[in-house]
Chain A
Amino acid sequence: MRKALFIVVALMLTIGLAACGSNKDNNGGNANSGTENTGNASTGGNANAGGNANAGGETVSGQVLAAGSTALQPLVEQVSKKFMEDAKYSGVTVQVQGGGSGTGLTQVQGGQVNIGNSDIFAEEKFVDADADKAKELVDHQVAVVAMAAVVNKSVTVDNLTKQQLVDIFTGKVKNWKEVGGQDEKITIINRPSSSGTRKTFEKYALGTKSEDVAGSIQEDASGTVKKYVTDTPGAIGYLALSYLDDTVKTVKYEGVEPKEENIVTGDYPIWAYEHMYTKGEPDAATKAFLDYMVSDEVQKSDVTELGYIPVGNMKVKRDAAGAIVK
């Protein structure tokens, strides 16, 4: 009996692994799921939540799988918990995974997840040969995230102009005294070049690309960035407002404080949308979740609690190119 089981397991693995060599294009529901317990197909295959046709019915049910941006993950996860506790949506299961904006967009484009979370517009990620792929995706902007330049507490500067920031992040200015601070070397805590947070900061704060200055530190995770800014004397980095607290010092940008009233009017320009992309129009369960996400119930509580700004509060709008639309 045990022997037979072993052989079955071994065979399953062999077949499975052999298959990946040959059927690379075979996505989603494929021949292999037959080897697994078919009773679990609804949990195993991610893309089949759309199978529920009763869109107009009283109760929605199905599976929603969201993946992507790790920065957006805490918010979506928090909302998904509340969503599933709501009796109206008891039939819907929402799963939230990380992986990064690129992974999220790739997965939603490939149909493996229902929602792809991203820090930046899909048009900015799918470029050149892939530009068409962005057109299949439908954007759902769920929150606005603002960022602020933060410095170590040893730094005496409390305001930086655009030009000063550009000089710092391109390595032209290397000491705080050149921008009106004390005599201390500047340590840049940047993000990797692929990061959506870095793209937002470059686009709206610097207006130009920053350099990977020799000796600068690059970390993708906000927690690590914050730890480095807190611990390293003379450090400068940038964080989403949700991560700001009294361990780091927030600097003003062109004399404007990173506060909600300044952001909604567009006076403080370093902000971006948090996107939840779907491929084409969402199915019932996904739509219910996305609607819930932008409902007042969520926008007025969880979104603001987590340091984001509700989309509805914004008095200005932006398009993918970054131009302000009234």
Chain B
Amino acid sequence: MSAKTADRIATAVIVAVSGLIVILLAGLLGYILFRGLPNISFHFLTSGPQTIKAGGGIGPQLFNSLFLLVLTLIITIPVGLGAGIYMSQYAKPGRVTDSIRLIVEVLSSFPSIVVGLFGLLVIVNIFGLGFSLFSGALALTVFNLPLMVRITEQAMNGVAREQKEASLALGLSRWKTITSVMLPIAMPAIVTGTILAAGRVFGEAAALLFTAGMSSPRLDFTNWNPLSPFSPLNPFRPAETLAVHIWKINSEGLAPDATQIAAGASAVLIIMVLIFNFSARWFGRYLHRKFTATK
């Protein structure tokens, strides 16, 4: 067999495999959407779930998922940015830095069920935060933080050395250089990474079963006082997210239309992740244009 033939065959195989991946994923998405979309309606997206009757919705769950995501990001973004900056700018290469990096890796590949139980016994019980959105956000932080650190570190390392040195040469302090020169340049990569990581938070269930809880109290969507226990904005109320809801109705659902609700909720979840993906791409490109065109 001549080298040319081998080349052609190999190329064909690789193209075929890549095509296969696209087809498989398209099939997967198609399956989920095909089964789920007919169940989605305005009523489904806005009304509360039903235990035994048909016609339940996922309104509160959808809201909880988004709110929990926001809470998690409020905690992880500052801490993750700080730790990432430390790792890329302040840490001296050596044993300590190496072991911190090791810790980050370990933290990110932690089994989510173990984090959930850790959350139950430490955050829920010992801290006394109870089953609440805040407990859930803290548990999710454990997953999200390492991702944020890695994203920030990589983005900061990607900033051209000349730019950093020029800024330092102009007499700016190191911190000022980081916040005013390097961070804006690294921002598009950080934002894209953050949004993609957010998609994973959105779909997490195992860690939340034991922390944010499996049911929501009655919510009064006209009450926006974050201190009231019925307010949707209260971070110390228990909350069932969309992924947990899917898990729950698949396992113990008694409503006659449980399968349809699970299918519909899965489709909604996938659509949300799709939106995250596209917005990450679009926003990253937008920021990139903005930061590079004006300068």
Question: Which A residues lie at the B interface, using CB under 8 A?
Answer: 5-6, 9-10, 13, 16, 19-20, 23-24, 26-30, 32-33, 36-37, 39-40, 42-46, 63, 65, 67, 70-71, 73-74, 77-78, 81, 84, 93-99, 103, 107, 110, 112, 220-224, 242-243, 305-307
Contacts and interface: CB of A to CB of B under 8 A. Distances in A.
Contact of A93 (B74, B134, B217, B254): B217
B158 interface: no
24 contacts: A9-B74, A13-B138, A19-B127, A29-B128, A32-B128, A37-B227, A40-B234, A40-B236, A43-B229, A46-B131, A63-B229, A65-B131, A70-B214, A70-B251, A70-B252, A78-B51, A78-B52, A97-B238, A98-B209, A98-B213, A107-B125, A223-B249, A223-B252, A243-B254
A289 to B, nearest CB: 14
B128 A97 contact: no
B19 interface: no
Given A39-B227, A43-B234, 4 more contacts: A26-B126, A43-B132, A44-B134, A221-B251
A45 B125 CA distance: 9
A221 B79 contact: no
A23 B74 CA distance: 27
A77 B251 CA distance: 15
Interface string B68-91: 000000110011001000000000
B281 interface: no
Contacts of A70: 214, 248, 251-252
B136 interface: no
Contacts of A19: 126-127
Given A16-B127, A224-B250, A77 B215 contact: yes
Contact of A44 (B74, B128, B209, B217): B128
B252 A222 contact: yes
Nearest to B254: A74
Contacts of A77: 51, 215
B205 to A, nearest CB: 12
Interface string B195-229: 00000000000000110011101100000000101
Q: Classify the secondary structure of B's interface with A.
A: loop
B75 A9 contact: yes
A223 B255 CA distance: 11
B211 to A, nearest CB: 10
A223 B251 contact: yes
Contacts of B74: 9
B78 A10 contact: yes
Contacts, number: 139
A29 B129 CA distance: 9
B129 A6 contact: no
Interface of B: 51-52, 74-75, 78-79, 82, 120, 122, 124-132, 134, 138, 209-210, 213-215, 217-218, 227, 229-230, 234, 236-238, 248-254, 258
A224 B128 contact: no
A95 B124 CA distance: 15
Contacts of B217: 93-95
A224 B125 contact: no
A125 B51 CA distance: 28
A110 B78 contact: no
Given A74-B254, A221-B251, A221-B252, A20 B126 contact: yes
Given A10-B82, A44-B130, A103 B227 contact: no
A81 B209 contact: no
Contact of B125 (A9, A27, A98): A27
A97 B131 contact: yes
Contact of B122 (A20, A81, A223): A20
B250 A9 contact: no
Contacts of A6: 78-79, 82
B79 A10 contact: yes
Contacts of A94: 217
Contacts of A32: 126-128
B125 A13 contact: no
B261 to A, nearest CB: 12
B209 A99 contact: yes
Nearest to B179: A3
The 8 closest A-B pairs by CB, nearest first: A221-B251, A6-B78, A98-B214, A78-B51, A43-B236, A40-B236, A46-B130, A20-B122
Contacts of A40: 227, 234, 236
A238 to B, nearest CB: 15
Given A97-B214, A112-B125, A223 B250 contact: yes
Contacts of A29: 128
B147 to A, nearest CB: 17
A74 B252 contact: yes
Contacts of B209: 98-99
Nearest to A23: B126
Contacts of B251: 70, 220-224
B221 to A, nearest CB: 16
Contacts of A67: 131
